[in-house]
Amino acid sequence: MRDIDRFKGVIPPTTTPFTQEGALDLGTFRKQIRFMVNAGVHGVCVGGSTGEGHTLDSDELRATWEAAAEELNGRLPLVAGVIINSTRQAVERCSIARQAGAVALQVTPPYYVFKPSEDALVDHFRTIAQESGLPVIIYNVVPWCYLSPALLGRIMREVPQVIGVKQSNGDLKLLADLLAGLPDGKLVLTAVDALLYPSFALGAHGTIAANPAAVPAMVVALWNAVQRGDHATGLALHGKLLRLWNAIFCDDLPACVKYVQSLQGVPLSHPRAPMRLPDEARRRRIDEAFAALELAAAA
């Protein structure tokens, strides 16, 4: 297996469990890792946006990365999510991730309101890759610092350690353009949650996204169906996953993902304030969509 093949397939981003007071709940976090491993996933990503990574300080990130590495024990790759605004801060956190046991990085462009130039962004990711010594996946999600397919291709060609991109825009054409112009030996992972099936059918190499975090077994079933060419099953699973996505998609998405996980045996935990758990109306909507998944049949 090529090293890059380790990062293909379904790599759900973990949520970060908090107590009502906002402290880390590492016991529940470890149970979540075991839940994902038992679902047949191909890796996990810790510290991304579904994990409220922008709210975590360096010590909290270290604690979650170390706990995940211990639970995985080398069986699956640990991808560390880094959401930060400066090259210096990114290098610091990426160093912590490597020490904690991560084998790759998922890094956003700077996410605050000032967009660097294209040359500056190339240098940003070059420095992160060189200083960390780890493979880097660009998390292309920041609206005011969105990277075009052409710029992503340039970064991947000029910085060999950047192995791919996680494409998060809902426009499937952008995903298709990325795949069409992808340099040899690089990856495109989809985070187009509503369109995982067509993303896989187009040739996306896997996914890191919220729906896989919510129902990892169902998304693994979808991935496996497309890989074996069973598009009838893939389309049927797509319809059920789309209904769930429409039920959980909102500004409090990580909290909704936690609620869906709780329906599968992961203890329900709080998001970090000011985010709140879903209200009764949204819970009813999620319950109805979840019941329609028929998870036992999908697994």
List residues forming the annotated binding site for pyruvate.
50, 208
Catalytic residue among 31, 111, 112, 166: 166
User: At 234, which helix (H) or strand (E)?
Assistant: helix 231-248
Q: Which fold has domain 3-292?
A: TIM Barrel (3.20.20)
Hey, where are the domains in the chain? 3-292
Q: Where are the beta strands (DSSP E) in 152-257?
A: 162-167, 187-190, 206-207
CA 124, CA 52: separation in Å to the nearest integer?
A: 23
pLDDT of residue 294: 79
pLDDT (tens digit, 9 = 90+) per residue, 152-171?
Answer: 999 999 999 999 999 997 78
CA 257, CA 112: separation in Å to the nearest integer?
A: 25
259 is catalytic: no
How many CB atoms are located within 10 Å of the residue 169 CB? Answer: 15
pLDDT (tens digit, 9 = 90+) per residue, 173-227?
Answer: 999 999 999 999 999 999 999 999 999 999 999 999 999 999 999 999 999 999 9
pTM tops 0.85, yes or no: yes
pLDDT (tens digit, 9 = 90+) per residue, 245-299?
Answer: 999 999 999 999 999 999 999 999 999 999 999 999 999 999 999 999 976 434 3
CA 18, CA 197: separation in Å to the nearest integer?
A: 32
Catalytic residue among 8, 111, 112, 139: 139
pLDDT at residue 141 is higher than 70: yes
List residues forming the annotated binding site.
50, 208
pLDDT of residue 2: 66
197 is catalytic: no
